[in-house]
Amino acid sequence: MNEAKTILLICSAGISTGLLVKNMKDAANQQGLDVHIYSAPAITAEDILKREKIDALLIGPQSEYEIHRLKDYLNYNSVAYKLIDKEHYEVLDGEKVLEQAMILLDK
């Protein structure tokens, strides 16, 4: 990876993913990864995708319905996306969720 990749996490309000983002950033720093990670409420995802280059979108398990709403747009813009594993999400395991994101970015 030459330039920093951008990873967006969304959930209903953006609060849970905000906590998860901090843990992911800590894990990325420990691994020396050049990634920009942030979160937002799911309702703003379409707007963000329209105006910013997002390399990977991770969706909180409680917001699974958002995949259907955003799928065409994600496919059109070739944004890799995945539902965050519930067990990692519930314990805010930044390292494991970062691992999921990096696998998406490698595809």
Catalytic residues, which ones?
Answer: 11
Q: What order of strands is seen across the sheet that includes strand 56-59?
A: 35-41, 5-11, 56-59, 80-83
Give the CA distances from residue 12 to residues 6, 17, 61, 106, in Å, rounded to whole numbers and listed in that order: 20, 9, 10, 27
